[in-house]
Amino acid sequence: MVNMKTVTVTEFKSHCLQMLEEVRSTGETIEIVKRGKPLATVVPARTDVKYVPGKFKDSIEIVGDIMVDGVDLGIVWEAMQ
């Protein structure tokens, strides 16, 4: 089980920016509760996800058109009307 800090919604409202900075710097998750029941969980943002242009280049192959001439697939698309 993951250990996490628990704070009331009132405490979070009062110290929101400080707590968000703490989550970012420590990586610790904070659970916000209202009347003793979980309301939200604040987790650090993922920073390991990066856009890599061309990452999937040459990983897929287009083998044909999805439109098949002369074959009734029983599908009526709005764009075809």
Whole-prediction pTM? 0.56
pLDDT at residue 68, as a whole number: 63
The CATH number of domain 1-46 is 3.40.50.300: no
Tell me the pLDDT tens digit for each residue of 5-51.
999 999 999 999 999 999 999 999 999 999 999 999 999 988 877 78
Residue 51 CA: distances (Å) to CA of 23, 48, 54: 24, 10, 9
Q: Domain ranges in the chain?
A: 1-46
Task: Give the 3-state secondary structure of residue 7.
Answer: strand
Q: Which two tokens stand for residue 45?
A: 């943002």
